[in-house]
Structure 1
Amino acid sequence: MSAEPHEATGQDPSDLPLFAPTAQVFPHAGRVRGAFSLAQRGRQPAATVPVSLVASHPSPAPFTGELDWGVVAALRQQASDRLAATLGQNHTHLDGSAQRKSGRAIIEDLLEAETAERVTAGTPAWSGTERALMATAVENALFGLGRLQPLVDDDTVENILITGYDRVTLELTDGRLVAGPPVADSDAELIDFLVFLASRSEANARPFSEAQPRLHLRLDGGARLAAAAWVTPRPSVVIRRHRLRRVTLSDLVRLGAMSPVTASFLSAAVKSRRSIVVAGAQGAGKTTLVRALCAEIPSHEAIGTFETEYELHLHELPDVHPIVVAWEARPGSGERGADGRAAGEFTLAEALFDSFRFNLSRQIVGEVRGHEILAMLKAMESGAGSISTTHARSAEGAIAKLVTCAMEAGPHVTHDYAVRAIAAAIDVVVYVHLETTPSPDGTWQRRRWVSEIATLTPGEQGTGYAIQHAFRTLPGQREATPYVLDDDYRDLASYGFDLEGYYRTGTVTP
């Protein structure tokens, strides 16, 4: 398959997240004390921002150099209060662009007042560069991700893992895990910023408090944030970026995630409208593989996606998928009513119910962690060719996991019913293996590849199920090889499956 669609992104396909070759590691941050007047009022010392982690912003100057983040936090709070007051007084709703414009003006006023105070106190005035850096940092804190923004903007960073303000691990696009700079001056400051971030998200605001100590948020830039506080020893945050939305099976072949024969099987399975579940550990690259599978869907088909937070972003690729209706669940807020629902709650089940009036060709349910299984099964039972993901330790383990998820929906879902429904709905299970090994330089290296592809059929007399491994990784190998092909899948040759190559490279004969 051609990789030409990547040209629209301006990025080389070798930059693909999770499967990419080696990237350059950036230097670590140090700690310095700022000299700004707000810092002299009891603020904590600031962290140096590594120059190589900084991406350009539509601001007066590039975000580099040293900043006192205590000053930034104080100015962000003042700017936030003043912006809220301004919007409330005008009784008008401004879009994100207009709010940002108003916020910039407020930030400039605050910096002007701070400059005057410094002069009055006899403190050296800010240079033009220092003031521009401060303006950018305050704007990032008010409208962006604050001290996290340079990390999210860095093209070498794939995932950000935080287990306390000063315990930051970065997963790079080449799979290495390296230490990152502190993202706040204390755990309390980190929690305060997360609360602020959740409440003001333009994409999908969500509550985060001691009463609701978990947060799942789609950031305005498209990355996904998960956080927990008050129920963990220290605030914990994971930010997973979706830096590259365009990916094909051919790209994954080139990057060593699968063989050409494996790719031809998966492509044919999608085109023949088999329903597929992609399984793997956390961070194994399931969503990346689903995007590649979706790239095989013919462009004339109308697609519906159902996710707790947008991750697939198929609706942002109109040249690849012209007709996409993307639903995102909403948790609601406030106390729950007599029906057990929070005000404003919108579930995937409701979205799926509505979708049957949208003349869809395929319904794709994102990640199945619990009750989403019912939406996935309904989608697969209602139409062929659905795709979903779930966490599991193996292809067969994924089936057991989905059975458990179905039974958790309530006593009306028995084990036998769950097994029958899953066996009837799912055709193919693809398992993505994640391997983490030590490197000579002391860092850790992650590698991912498709290690199993299993086909599923209902058992005899409608009980149980039969599973065959069409591909599996043999001991000592790092690539799934042809194994046993169910007779029902020989017809995939008419959809482009390299059947001859399957038998030529495999361990079985036709």
Structure 2
Amino acid sequence: MSFDVQKAVRELLPQVTQALDTATVTGDEAVREYARAVIINLVRDYADTRTLAGNSAPTLPQERLLAEAVHNEIFALGRLQPFVDDPEVENIDVNGCDQVWITYSDGRKVLGPPIADSDEDLVANVRRWAAYQGQTARDFSIARPRLHLSVGRTRIAALMGVTPRPSLSIRRHGMLHADLDDLMASDTLDKSCRAFLAAAVRAHKDIVITGGMGDGKTTFARALAAEIDPDERIATVEKEYELFLHAQPDRHRDVLALEAREGNTEGFGALTLHQLIEDALRFNARRIIVGEVRGDELVPMLEAMNTGGAGSICTMHADSADQVFSRMLILAGSGGLSIAPETLFRTIGMAVDFVIHLRHELRHDLDGLVNRRYVAEIHEVLPPADGLEPAVNRVYVPGPDGRAVPNTIPQCMNELVAAGFDPSLFTGGWA
């Protein structure tokens, strides 16, 4: 009879989690080291017990495989981990333990193998990840059926109880060290646009990055941040860690990474993006980067741009650059803020310098599947003039193929030139 690794994993997991629940060690690394020692001892005891009982026992290589599998179930993503480690994987969508869809960076979508033996096992796995991974332990239960968690280079969203089967969506961040040169190499932007945006960051211009879901806004924010001086103090404010600037000490030496926290079952202890943006200013951050503005954090973000955080960056969902101001008004209202549109628009006009809009195309043509992300527009934002909304200069507009091409010289061109921009690059065309 062959040795069943997955069955052994199921038998050992309760013992490991019990040992971790009663452990007195603290600190992420200390807990992991303690867990490794516990797992190794339990695997040895498991092998010895099966040998003495005359049952099939793991070989030494299988013991190592078993220990790694148990460790991955708690501190990684179990059977999902090989896909997370694959640099070509972009998204993983799970509609129950045996309906696993893998989307690759070239646009391909394939059905993957089951990631658990049952939906109950899948829920148990997610609960372990929520308890032992991420900055703070998070609950996943009938009372708390929604979970958002950052694990390593992935962002996990999970649902149970409100769907026919437990469901997960896992976004893999594939360009953690992306810079503007990388984006130019992938045809996201051209030489002119790359130089323009690098100068805008160096000139401490406040930038809003817009686009749809999956358009690459977080990666683009990370690439823009690569132009910031390594010793400049940065605060990143996120619902779940995705920027990971604090994990790049060679590029960013002084980073305050802030992650929002949900309240406990009684509703206490929550920390919102709104509160964390205000904290970032108190902690002397020169620039604030918000992973995604979704609600009432909009106004403190604008205030930070307008006062203490010149050169700050945020991302926001919008279907076009022209929609960004109305989108901001909707976000302010959805966050429960009572603010007059003219006041909000005046604040935007004084706070924001540029809006960068990204687009994502996924289509079939004669050459096969086309999957491309690119900068479509760059608008310079100015205080309201004749209308209610802020005035704009359409600095870069979509060219014949949709990619941004130079159109109008911005009012701040002299500042960009002083920050290193060569104005001769502002000549039009995709280069």
CA separation of 1:307 and 1:101: change in aligned 2, threshold 3 A: closer
SS of corresponding position for 2:15: helix
How does 1:106-117 map onto structure 2 within 5 Å? 106-117=38-49
1:482 aligns with 2:406: yes
| Structure 1 residue 410: Cα displacement | 2.5
User: Hey, what does 1:387 align to over in structure 2?
Assistant: 313
Q: Secondary structure at the match of 2:427?
A: helix
- Work out whether 1:396 is the aligned partner of 2:312: no
SS for the counterpart of 2:403 is: coil
The corresponding residue for 1:71 is 8
**Which residue of 356, 370, 391 maps to 2:295?**
370
Is 1:497 aligned to 2:421, yes or no?
A: yes
Structure 1 equivalent of residue 129 of structure 2:
197
What is the alpha-carbon root mean square deviation over aligned residues? 2.6
- Taking the TM superposition and a 5 Å limit, the aligned residue runs for 1:38-437 are 68-85=5-22, 87=23, 92-119=24-51, 122-201=54-133, 203-219=135-151, 221-335=152-266, 342-383=267-308, 384-410=310-336, 412-437=338-363
TM-score by length of 2: 0.90
Q: Is the 8 A contact 2:209 2:357 kept in 1?
A: yes
For the residue of structure 1 that corresponds to 2:426, the secondary structure is helix
Q: CA–CA distance in 1 between the matches of 2:122 and 2:386?
A: 57
The alpha-carbon deviation at position 375 of structure 1 amounts to 2.9
Give aligned pairs, total: 429
Q: Which amino acid aligns with 2:217?
A: K
Tell me how far apart the structure 2 counterparts of residues 143 and 390 of structure 1 sit (CA, whole Å).
Answer: 31
- Which residue, 415, 425, 449 being the options, matches 2:374? 449
Q: In the alignment, what sits opposite 1:21?
A: none
How far off its partner does 1:314 sit? Answer: 1.6
Measured against aligned partners, the alpha-carbon deviations of 1:313-362 in whole angstroms (never above 9, x if no partner) come to: 22222232222222221112121xxxxxx322222232232333333321
- d(CA) in 2 for partners of 1:436 and 1:185? 33
Paired with 2:364 and 2:100, the residues of 1 have a C-alpha distance of 19
Q: Would the aligned equivalents of 2:296 and 2:336 in 1 still touch at CA under 8 Å?
A: no
Give the Cα separation in 2 of the matches to 1:156 and 1:105. 33
What are structure 1's unaligned runs of at least 5 residues? 1-33, 37-66, 336-341
Structure 2, unpaired ranges of 5+:
none
Cα 1:121–1:315 change in 2 (3 A) is: closer
Equivalent position amino acid for 1:303 in 2 = I
1:390-434 Cα offsets, whole Å, 9 max, x none, are 111111122221111012232522333222222322121111111
Query: What is the rounded CA distance, in whole Å, between the counterparts of 1:299 and 1:115 in structure 2?
Result: 51
- Partner deviation per Cα, 1:444-480 (whole Å, 9 max, x = no partner): 55311111111221222783222232112234x0421
**SS of 1:410 mapped into structure 2:** coil
Aligned to 1:438: 364
- The normalised TM-score by structure 1 is 0.77
Once residues 125 and 410 of structure 1 are traced to their aligned partners in structure 2, the CA distance between those partners, rounded to angstroms, is: 60
Q: CA deviation at 1:117?
A: 5.0
Between the aligned partners of 2:53 and 2:262, the Cα distance in structure 1 is 49
CA distance in 2 between counterparts of 1:115 and 1:411 reads 61
Q: Structure 1 residues 426 and 202 mapped into 2: Cα distance closer, same or farther (>3 Å)? A: closer
Instruction: Give the 3 Å change call, closer, same or farther, for CA 299–142 of structure 1 in structure 2.
Output: closer
Cα deviation, 1:179-198, whole Å, max 9, x if unaligned, reads 32221122222112112211
User: Structure 1's 124 and 297: CA in aligned 2 closer, same or farther, altered over 3 A?
Assistant: closer
CA distance in 2 between counterparts of 1:441 and 1:149 reads 32
- Equivalent pair of 1:258/1:449 in contact (CA under 8 Å): yes
